[in-house]
Amino acid sequence: MSEVITSINQMKEFSKKAVLSQKSIGFIPTMGYLHDGHLSLIKKARNENDIIIVSIFVNPLQFAPSEDFNAYPRDFEKDRLSCDQNGVDVIFYPGYEDMYPQDYQTFTEVSFLSKPLEGTSRPTHFKGVTTIVLKLFNIVKPTRAYFGKKDAQQLIIIKKMVEDLNLDVEIVPCEIKRGVDGLALSSRNVYLNAKERAQAICLKKALDKAKELIDAKILDSKTIIQSMRDVINSNDLASIDYISINSIDCLSELNEVVLGKTLISLAVFFGKTRLIDNIWI
């Protein structure tokens, strides 16, 4: 059975004891509504650490007022069962007032990497992410923390924060887990109606198209992006937010794909639902 800890002090005490007894802590920060993508991170962590801690906290700070904080899917009892069944030792499930008391006023920002891509559409998003992740790291004291490549920019930003602030945690990138039809698993997929869900596989199809062109030695970004646009635009319910080809290190836009150093990413709306996906080339 996973132990549920809601108190910050209790969580700190638990982790302090684990560190003192030289046990490694594998940490998976989540916003809950767990699916097989989250479980793949948990399983990887389970193989590599003595103790597994999963946090469940829908972080209000990373949602703009116009975004879906209230609607974000939540099902703690189902999540607790998934954690029980997957060898999670502790679920850290803090309250809003405890994480952000009324006089809360301290924020962490990774300046430049937070600006492009997701940052263009969600300008305050990553400040919220890095602030909560740093708080969680301070409370949970993980040896290793696991992040999905689905949120590629988030992963790159967290790695930079760890480097810049000399944090003592190893960031472990995890592969994207997909449904049988290729759609990247995401808690937000539940917002899609049947027709949107059927068309949503176009994100993966567009990425497959990009890979096909690159395999045929077509590396020009404009050409690749146009082909990806054509794939997405053949779906009447899809509306492109961005499609971009960037350097994995500094996220600057690339005119040409550089093998081993390129992130191709996209965000597409289906109605109000915004889906993201990417490949690392």
Q: Which sequence positions are flagged as catalytic? A: 38
Minimum CB distance to ligand PAF, residue 158 (Å): 8
**Closer residue to ligand PAF (CB): 132 or 228:** 132
**Residues 6 or more apart from 85 whose CB is under 8 A from it?**
none
Compute CA distances 145 → 3, 49, 123, 227, whole Å. 19, 10, 25, 36
**Closer residue to ligand BAL (CB): 19 or 241:** 241
For residue 213, what is the DSSP state? H
SS (H, E, C) 52-107: EEEEECCCHHHCCCCCCCCCCCCCHHHHHHHHHHCCCCEEECCCHHHHCCCCCCCC
**Closer residue to ligand PAF (CB): 18 or 152:** 152
Instruction: With beta carbons less than 8 A apart as the criterion, state whether 157 and 133 touch.
Output: no
The token duo for 61 is: 């700070």
| Spatial separation of the C-alpha atoms in residues 132 and 70, rounded to whole Å | 18
Whether 151 has a binding-site annotation, put simply, is: yes
Q: Is 185 in the site for ligand ATP (CB under 6 A)?
A: yes
Whether 237 has a binding-site annotation, put simply, is: no
Q: Say how many residues touch ligand ATP, by CB under 6 A.
A: 18
Whether 102 has a binding-site annotation, put simply, is: no
Q: Is 151 in the site for ligand BAL (CB under 6 A)?
A: yes
Looking at 25, 42, 52, 132, which residue binds ligand PAF (CB under 6 A)?
132
Q: Is 62 in the site for ligand BAL (CB under 6 A)?
A: yes
- Helix runs in the chain, H state only: 8-20, 36-48, 76-85, 96-99, 118-121, 125-140, 152-164, 194-199, 202-215, 221-233
**Phi and psi for 90 in degrees, rounded to 5?**
-135, 135
Minimum CB distance to ligand BAL, residue 186 (Å): 8
The token duo for 124 is: 């305050």
| Residues between 133 and 152 that touch ligand PAF (CB under 6 A) | 133, 151
Binding partner selected for residue 41 from ligand ATP, ligand BAL, ligand PAF, none, CB under the kind-specific 5 to 8 Å limit: ligand ATP
Whether 234 has a binding-site annotation, put simply, is: no
Residues contributing to the site for ligand ATP (CB under 6 A)? 30-31, 37-38, 40-41, 147-148, 150-151, 174, 176-177, 184-188
Residues contributing to the site for ligand PAF (CB under 6 A)? 29-31, 59, 62, 129, 132-133, 151, 154
Residues contributing to the site for ligand BAL (CB under 6 A)? 62, 151
Where is the binding site for ATP, in residues? 31-38, 148-151, 185-188
